[in-house]
Amino acid sequence: MRDASVEGKIAAIVDSPTQGTSRFVRACLRQPVDRTPVWLLRQAGRYMPEYMAVRKHHSLLDICRTPEIAAEVTITAAERLGVDAAIIFADLLLPFTPMGVDFEFLAGEGPVVHTPVRTLDQVRALRTDRTDELNYVAKALEKVAHHFSAPRADGDQLGIIGFCGAPFTLASYMIEGGSSRNYIETKRMMYGDREAWPLLMEKLVEVLVTYAAQQVEAGADVIQVFDSWVGALGVTDYREFCLAPTTELIRRIQALGVPVIYFGVDTASLLPSMRETGADVIGLDWRTPLSEGWKAVGEGCAVQGNLDPIALFAPEEVLRARVHEVLDAAGGRPGHIFNLGHGIVPGTPVENVIQTVKWVKEYGAR
């Protein structure tokens, strides 16, 4: 079921003359491009002085929840780096609030959920009817889309990326109460509670589809689904407990009329199964050479990646060689989006990030 405005959005994407001019969207759809498009995971983050200047006066959640500031941070990063796509500034955990799960970000610790969700009754109590409260993300995205509505100097339309978490990765934060090493509580529920786990997956999918629809309606060209910690699962468990809900999420986002990028870390053994979700693009981490990762997901799928983010600390010759290596592995085939294998970390030299984007533009030209 879609409302009329989403239908309108789909028609606009299908018919849009600008769609053909965004090399980022074209690459997601495995159409030929004039050069490999590039953007970077966590391109607006603590490595960037402009972001830190904003962070000095606002908490992470304040930034996320204030559309003017979230839009400004998103736009500044994309323009500073000269990338081909802007990812909306938000966080994976924002949907927890309307579900009734309180959390905060503690300095040096990352996200903390004060009352982790570990019982069937707690899962039953999760709300799925308040997702409208997340509309501040759509409002920020609308501002970003408006800002980038005119083509750039080279005639290319900047891609606008919305995002959400995947059911497993979000469930892991909810159940563990924060980041985790061994995912014991998550797997305890997954293996041991045949009612709570499927219900949790179902509720997350419900909320995430609505959240993604808000972003598409606001102007997102593509949705990226982050399954950052799915690499904690073996193939059997991924297939038994996560493949179906993740597939449902991805198919329902695609039905909104946008391509989906599905990304995880440490996924070498999971890639063929991740491909079964039907995602248009699979995000590869840096541990698998891009050509092998692409072989694992198959030619009928686009790939995004996969420079080691820590290579951004390397001397110039080494960094340039690694950038070239990724582009050589892609071999100019349609359906490659240059990116990192995971997010830029704090302390990364900004000039190396900017230089990397320049090298991709030069070396990735057809």
Instruction: Between 230 and 302, name the residue whose CB sits nearer to ligand CP3.
Output: 230
Instruction: Between 30 and 131, name the residue whose CB sits nearer to ligand CP3.
Output: 131
Contact 288, 306 (CB under 8 A): yes
Q: Tell the smallest beta-carbon distance from residue 262 to ligand CP3 (Å).
A: 12
For residues 167 and 207, what is the distance between their CA atoms, to the nearest angstrom?
10
Q: Tell the smallest beta-carbon distance from residue 87 to ligand CP3 (Å).
A: 5
DSSP state of 84: S
Instruction: Between 43 and 306, name the residue whose CB sits nearer to ligand CP3.
Output: 43
Contact 284, 305 (CB under 8 A): yes
Q: Tell the smallest beta-carbon distance from residue 279 to ligand CP3 (Å).
A: 16
Instruction: Between 91 and 237, name the residue whose CB sits nearer to ligand CP3.
Output: 91
Q: What angle do CA 281, 283, 289 make, to 5 degrees?
A: 115
Instruction: Between 30 and 80, name the residue whose CB sits nearer to ligand CP3.
Output: 80
Q: Tell the smallest beta-carbon distance from residue 231 to ligand CP3 (Å).
A: 11
Q: Tell the smallest beta-carbon distance from residue 242 to ligand CP3 (Å).
A: 16
Q: Tell the smallest beta-carbon distance from residue 27 to ligand CP3 (Å).
A: 19
Helices assigned H by DSSP within the chain: 4-15, 23-28, 49-55, 60-65, 67-81, 96-99, 120-125, 135-147, 167-176, 184-192, 196-218, 235-237, 243-254, 271-275, 290-297, 316-330, 350-363
Contact 105, 61 (CB under 8 A): yes
Q: Tell the smallest beta-carbon distance from residue 48 to ligand CP3 (Å).
A: 9
Half-sphere exposure of 221 (CA within 13 A, CB side): 27
For residues 72 and 79, what is the distance between their CA atoms, to the nearest angstrom?
11
DSSP state of 93: T
293: Cβ contacts below 8 Å, ≥ 6 apart: 268, 271, 282, 284, 303, 305, 306
Instruction: Between 42 and 118, name the residue whose CB sits nearer to ligand CP3.
Output: 42
Q: Which residues contribute to the site for ligand CP3 (CB under 6 A)?
A: 41-46, 55, 60, 77, 87, 89, 91-93, 105, 110-111, 163, 179, 226, 228, 343
Instruction: Between 113 and 190, name the residue whose CB sits nearer to ligand CP3.
Output: 113
Q: Which residue is nearest to ligand CP3 (CB)?
A: 228
Start-to-end C-alpha separation, the chain = 41
